[in-house]
Amino acid sequence: MDWYPLWNSVRIAAISCVLVFFIGIFAAYYVARLPRLIKGLLDVALTLPLVLPPTVTGYFLLILLGTKRPLGSFLLEHGVKFVMNWYGGILAAAVVAFPLMYRTARGAFESFDVTLAYSGQTLGLSNTYIFWRIRMPYCRQGILAGTVLAFARALGEYGATSMLIGYTPGRTATISTTVYQLWRTNDNIGALRWVLVNLVISTAVLLAVNLLERKNSGEVRR
Amino acid sequence: MLSVNIEKRLGKFRLQVAFEAAEGVTGILGASGCGKSMTLRCIAGIEKPDKGSIVLNGQTLFDSDQGIDLPPQKRRVGYLFQNYALFPNMTVKKNILCGLRGEKDSVKRQEALQHVMKLLQLEELENHHPSQISGGQAQRVALARILVNCPRLLMLDEPFSALDSHLREHLQIEMKLLLEKYGGTVLMVTHSRNEAYHLCDRIAPMDVGVFLALKPTKALFADPGTIVAAAVTGCKNIAAATKAGEYEVEVPEWGLRLTTGQPVREDVCAVSIRAHYFGVKTVQNRFPIYQTDEMEEPFEWIIRFRFNGQKERTPDIWWRLPKDCRPQKMPEELGVSPSDILLLYSK
């Protein structure tokens, strides 16, 4: 059995998850502090990939990055080609998973007791310290939940990925595109095998999160 | 020495505050929502005033004309929040060390930590999390965290409101001693006249968005001088009045003419009689009354009554008296000594 799709899926999901973690948190942090009108507009724009069909998101990505488009051809001149390359999958997965991280992180930040930040400031703590050592631990649960959701979504991404990088065995194949291809070519056993692999990974991730949660809550709260 | 002169608009609410606070405890006494906390936030640098200036010990913290607006980190102003704002993910010790991050020398840091933990009796709690300690202990931790940072100004925002009432008086005594040890300028915001009376050297009564004249605590309670000051210091019985003679005022709402202890100025606008000041045997300002209601407290009676000639739809008069002083039968007349008639002016 060729394990390439597993390796490819995991690296795409992991890298896009890290990207989404940081970008999502900072977007959530800054958007939460904007004036109401701009906040509403940005909120719609940033959440759109959640409600758009992933193929539509993929279509937009192709329009932006297609090798005949301005940005796509510019990148190609510098040796970067997202279309039909495995790292294009990172972009597709990140765009689709981003709203999950952004939304949950924003919800967590909005529940944060701002007097904690204020008291930190009056004690002379830097804003960076307050952010990483007080705000983030306080919002830990929401952020963790957002990260897990984003990872799971990235791992299961199909629509935008297949539009942008297609399916080339050994080059761009991911678990979800492989399942579809094997099923389409009447390889039921092969498809089932990858379905099981996917189930195992997802279950393991969720279990790990639950364990982590229990440990954390035991430490801080009685 | 703190000198504040600021203006800030928030929707329809307008804060316009000007005062100077010297060393010692200055109280800001006012009803909820009058802008007390907003004033403290502006001084701390958490909120930005629209215009004006804030100067602390000669250093300008904020000045809209000169474009100065120091961040809260640089103001060195201690702020005790209503809910104490302890960081829930850190132990008591780590919370206090947050106030010491400016101190780079680790030996000095440890010394300061031990000193403040001893001062506030926190040694046994150092490894507890905020969720594991009581409200009174949380207050001590928050104070330790602030004092260890050597603030040039200490601001207390309703310091006892988060505590059970039986703890409050006890902690007020501790707080008084601590504030004496601190010795610097302290601003305390409260809506409780008892807390203000116990702890403050001077009090500025606050109306919606504005400060009234700062007065020494005892002088303010003895002679509030304005309707707002009378209300925030706990006067229940306030009615409009006009001058009727050099030592006499006319109170139409109560249908009486009262003799006063102090000479009456032309611009008198109201009078007030504190609920404790009525006397069964007092002969001056003695008028017929009838009782309407009564309320029993642990050690006092609150009797509500009306003067016989009192206008309809005016509030009942409150009379408080110790339980053992209550006469067998409700008296038909009550008197007030002229010196207990408080004269109130618009300014």
**Domain end marker among B191, B223, B255:** B223
User: Which of B88, B131, B145 comes nearest A123 by C-beta?
Assistant: B145
What sign for the dihedral angle of Cα B227, B231, B234, B236?
Answer: positive
**Span B320-329, average pLDDT:** 88
The pLDDT assigned to A220 comes to 47
Distances (CA, A) of A100 to A144, A149, A208: 11, 7, 19
Residue A202 has pLDDT above 90, yes or no: no
A216 — pLDDT class (breaks 50, 70, 90): low
Residue B40 has pLDDT above 90, yes or no: yes
Query: Which of B12, B10, B3 has the alpha carbon at shortest distance from B49?
Result: B10
Q: Coil, strand or helix: which one is B206?
A: strand
Query: Which of A13, A14, A43, A12 has the alpha carbon at shortest distance from A27?
Result: A43
Q: Say if residue B213 is in the same domain as residue B242.
A: no
What domains lie within chain A, and their CATH numbers? 4-220 (1.10.3720.10)
Q: Say if residue B258 is in the same domain as residue B198.
A: no
B46 touching A, CB under 8 A?
yes
Average pLDDT over chain A reads 90
- Per DSSP, B192 falls in state -
Chain B residues in contact with A122 by the CB 8 A cut-off are 44-46, 72-73, 75, 77-79, 146
Query: Which of A28, A12, A11, A53 has the alpha carbon at shortest distance from A146?
Result: A28
The pLDDT assigned to A215 comes to 65
Chain B residues in contact with A126 by the CB 8 A cut-off are 73
The pLDDT assigned to A20 comes to 96
Number of H helices, E strands in chain A: 12, 0
Percent over 90 (pLDDT), chain A: 67
The pLDDT assigned to B256 comes to 92
Q: Coil, strand or helix: which one is A166?
A: coil
Please indicate, yes or no, if residue B188 is contained in any of the structural domains: yes
Q: How far apart are CA A155 and CA A137, in angstroms?
A: 26
> Would strands B248-251 and B242-245 be described as parallel, antiparallel, or unpaired?
antiparallel
Query: Which of B11, B10, B28 has the alpha carbon at shortest distance from B19?
Result: B28
Query: Would you call A119 and B102 a contact, using CB atoms and an 8 Å cutoff?
Result: no
The pLDDT assigned to B170 comes to 85
Chain centre to alpha carbon of residue B344: 19
Q: pLDDT tens digits for B207-224?
A: 988 888 899 999 999 999
Please indicate, yes or no, if residue B231 is contained in any of the structural domains: no
- List CB contacts of A134: < 8 A, sequence separation 6 or more: A116, A117, A120, A125, B87, B89
Q: pLDDT tens digits for A160-175?
A: 999 999 999 999 999 9
Q: Which residues of A192-204 are buried (b: 16+ CB within 10 A; e: fewer)?
A: eebeebbeebeee
Q: How far apart are CA B206 and CA B233, in angstroms?
A: 11
**Span B137-160, average pLDDT:** 94
The domain total for chain B is: 2
Q: Say if residue B330 is in the same domain as residue B290.
A: yes
HSE toward the beta carbon, residue A201, CA cutoff 13 A: 21
Q: Say if residue B30 is in the same domain as residue B149.
A: yes
The pLDDT assigned to B288 comes to 94
Q: H-helix or E-strand containing B26?
A: strand B24-30
Q: Say if residue B196 is in the same domain as residue B263.
A: no
Query: Would you call B131 and A220 a contact, using CB atoms and an 8 Å cutoff?
Result: yes
Q: Which two tokens stand for residue B32?
A: 């909820």
Please indicate, yes or no, if residue B228 is contained in any of the structural domains: no
Nearest-CA distance from A135 to chain B in Å?
9
- Per DSSP, A50 falls in state H
Tell me the β-bridge partners of B13.
Answer: B10
Q: Say if residue B215 is in the same domain as residue B258.
A: no
Q: A216 or A179: whose pLDDT is higher?
A: A179
Q: Which two tokens stand for residue A11?
A: 């690296």
The pLDDT assigned to B111 comes to 93
Q: How far apart are CA A1 and CA A193, in angstroms?
A: 10
Please indicate, yes or no, if residue B19 is contained in any of the structural domains: yes
- Per DSSP, B226 falls in state B
Residue A113 has pLDDT above 70, yes or no: yes
Q: Say if residue B299 is in the same domain as residue B208.
A: no
Q: What is the ipTM of this complex?
A: 0.86
Residue B79 has pLDDT above 50, yes or no: yes
**Domain end marker among B223, B257, B292:** B223
Q: Say if residue B79 is in the same domain as residue B157.
A: yes
Query: Would you call B102 and A124 a contact, using CB atoms and an 8 Å cutoff?
Result: yes
Please indicate, yes or no, if residue B230 is contained in any of the structural domains: no
Q: Say if residue B212 is in the same domain as residue B279.
A: no
**Domain end marker among B223, B253, B282:** B223
A221 — pLDDT class (breaks 50, 70, 90): very low
Q: pLDDT tens digits for B237-258?
A: 999 999 999 999 999 999 999 9
* Diameter over CA atoms, chain A: 67
Q: Say if residue B53 is in the same domain as residue B175.
A: yes
Q: Say if residue B68 is in the same domain as residue B147.
A: yes
Distances (CA, A) of A92 to A59, A69, A150, B63: 10, 17, 12, 50
Chain B residues in contact with A222 by the CB 8 A cut-off are 131-132
Q: Say if residue B283 is in the same domain as residue B167.
A: no
Chain B residues in contact with A113 by the CB 8 A cut-off are 83, 85
The pLDDT assigned to A34 comes to 85
Range of the domain at B172: 2-223
Q: Which of A64-78, A205-219, B88-102, B160-174 has the weakest average pLDDT?
A: A205-219
The pLDDT assigned to B164 comes to 85
**Span B112-122, average pLDDT:** 91
